[in-house]
Amino acid sequence: MPIRTHLFKTLANLEYLEAGSGKVILLLHGLGSRSTAYKQVINQLTQSYHVYAPSLHFSLHGQSTSTIEDYTSLLNEFIRSKALKDITVIGNSFGGGIALKLAESNNKIARLVLADSAGLPIHYTFTQFLYFLLRKTLHELKYVSQLPLLMHLVRDFLLFFLKSLPQFAQLKKAFDIMSGKELVEFQRIRIPTLLVWGTQDEIFSPEYAKHLHSKLSNSELIFLEGNHDFVLFNHTSFCRAVDKWIGKK
């Protein structure tokens, strides 16, 4: 089915992709990318599901990026407006942190899939984080057969960086807050959760994945070959794992 682009007109004019039919999947992308980079993932998922994939590049209150509370508030409004229910939320990287916050209190969310997800305090500096991003990018240069996707990711990240540059101090402050305290009330999340992790994740290590798994009482953890962005570059393996797991639930 064709992927359609829509605009949810609210405080931030949320742009989103929509395609498919069946059970609802809400797909939340990672920081510095856009939902358009996930078109191969969306195309495969829409063989069985109705997929909504918002682009989380909006900002509120004149800041370069929004807080996790801003993101969850707007997405809750989106879910109410569309009357969505029995939702599987797939969160990749920073999108996983937002997915966890959504799951704390929204009873329309029935399942979570966290792919190389944020959600726990991170114990490295902002400078180290930038180094890990560089390592990730260098790792992905080997995917020459998927050069259009690689160029798409690089372009999205550069646009995000240029947008954030005038308020770089605020961005660093937001990073420090995220790395210094736990933002998710894990005891409130009891829905079935699948953690899917790349074995060579440069940002969130396998040990981080195991720790997150231990915090979620109704969760399963599987590792697949790939790095932090394996969801995009190995989308077939990822979508098969997700489809198999949802079928069991």
Distance from C-alpha of 35 to C-alpha of 54, rounded to nearest angstrom:
6
Distance from C-alpha of 116 to C-alpha of 208, rounded to nearest angstrom:
9
What is the pTM (predicted TM-score) of this model? 0.89
pLDDT at residue 136 is higher than 70:
yes
Q: Which residues contact 247 (CB under 8 A, 6 or more apart)?
A: none
The pLDDT value given to residue 196: 98
Tell the burial category of 141 from Cβ atoms under 10 Å away from its Cβ (0-12, 13-18, 19+): exposed
> pLDDT averaged over the chain?
87
Q: Which domain holds residue 164?
A: 4-248
Distance from C-alpha of 130 to C-alpha of 142, rounded to nearest angstrom:
20
Q: What is the mean pLDDT of residues 136-145?
A: 78
Which of 23-27, 52-56, 240-244 has the least mean pLDDT? 52-56
The pLDDT value given to residue 40: 95
Distance from C-alpha of 47 to C-alpha of 63, rounded to nearest angstrom:
38
The pLDDT value given to residue 142: 78
Q: What is the mean pLDDT of residues 113-134?
A: 85
Give the model confidence (pLDDT) of 57-112 as tens digits: 655 444 445 678 888 988 999 999 999 999 999 999 989 999 999 999 899 999 99
Distance from C-alpha of 246 to C-alpha of 220, rounded to nearest angstrom:
12
Nearest Cα residue to 42 out of 16, 72, 66, 63 = 16
Give the model confidence (pLDDT) of 179-205 as tens digits: 656 778 999 999 999 999 999 999 999
Which of 6-20, 39-53, 77-91, 160-174 has the least mean pLDDT? 160-174
Residue 50 maps to which CATH number?
A: 3.40.50.1820
Query: Which is higher by pLDDT, 109 or 162?
Result: 109
Nearest Cα residue to 233 out of 158, 155, 156, 139 = 139
Q: What is the mean pLDDT of residues 18-34?
A: 93
pLDDT at residue 113 is higher than 90:
yes
Question: What strands, in cross-sheet order, belong to the sheet with 193-198?
Answer: 4-8, 14-20, 49-54, 23-28, 87-92, 109-115, 193-198, 219-224
Distance from C-alpha of 105 to C-alpha of 119, rounded to nearest angstrom:
16
Nearest Cα residue to 222 out of 205, 236, 210 = 210
Residue reference for tokens 């997800």: 117
The number of distinct structural domains making up the chain is: 1
| 3-state SS class at 144 | helix
Q: Which residues contact 61 (CB under 8 A, 6 or more apart)?
A: 70
Report residue 172's pLDDT band, with 50, 70 and 90 as the boundaries: low
pLDDT > 70: what percent of the chain? Answer: 88
Q: What is the mean pLDDT of residues 3-7?
A: 92
Alpha-carbon dihedral angle through residues 43, 99, 74, 246, given to the nearest 10 degrees: 50
Give the model confidence (pLDDT) of 215-232 as tens digits: 999 999 999 999 999 999
Residue 96 to residues 1, 154, 163, Cα–Cα distance (Å) = 26, 21, 22
